[in-house]
Amino acid sequence: MMKLKVLLPTEVLINEAASKITAEAENGCFCLLPNHVDFVAGLVPGLLLFESREGEEIFLAVDEGILVKCGLEVLVSVRNAIRGTDLETLKNTVEQEFQSLDEREKMTRGALAKLEASFIRGFLEVGGKP
C-alpha cells in the first residue's frame, strides 16, 4: 500500500492508503503501483483516480500541480481539488464550483476596477493642485 497525500494551499484534502493511483501529466496518463520506481510528474487539470485500501475507486478533479512518488509515499500538490465517488456527481460539483468561482472573480474584478479608478482620481486631484 502507498500513502497518498493531496495537499491544497490551505489544507490536506486526502491522507489515505492507496493501492493504485492514476493521474494525467502533460505527456499523458500514468498509473502508479506500490513497487514502481520513484517518480515526479507535472499534473494537468483533469482526473486523479485512486483505489482505497477497501478497493473503492475514488475520483478527484484536480487543477494543475505536481505529483511526487518517493518510496511508498505519494505527495500531490495542486491549487484546487474536489473529491467524488462517482463521475456524474463529481462533474456536477465541479460545474457548480466553477460557476461560483466565476461569480467571485467578477466581483473581485469589479472591486479592483473601482479601487483603480479611485486611485487615479486621487492622483489627478493631487497632481492638479498648484
Q: What is the pLDDT of residues 67-111, one digit of tens each?
A: 999 999 999 999 888 887 777 677 777 777 766 666 777 777 778
- Residue 78 shares a structural domain with residue 92: no
- Residue 39 shares a structural domain with residue 93: no
In the chain, the DSSP E strands lie at 2-7, 12-25, 28-32, 39-43, 46-52, 57-62, 65-70, 73-78, 81-84
Q: Domain span at residue 61? A: 2-84
- Per DSSP, what are the bridge partners of residue 18? 2, 52
Q: What is the pLDDT of residues 30-69, one digit of tens each?
A: 999 999 999 999 999 888 999 998 999 999 988 889 999 9
The CATH number of residue 17's host domain is 2.60.15.10
Residue type at position 19:
S
∠ CA 78-32-49, nearest 5°, is 55
Predicted structure pTM score = 0.70
Residue type at position 86:
D
Q: Which of the pair, 116 or 75, is modelled with greater confidence? A: 75
- Residue 18 shares a structural domain with residue 59: yes
pLDDT at position 130, please?
Answer: 46
- Residue 34 shares a structural domain with residue 49: yes
- Residue 76 shares a structural domain with residue 113: no
**Number of domains comprising the chain:** 2
State how far the Cα of 109 lies from the Cα of 43, in Å rounded to an integer: 28
> Which whole-number Å values give the CA distances from 23 to 29, 90, 106, in the listed order?
6, 16, 31
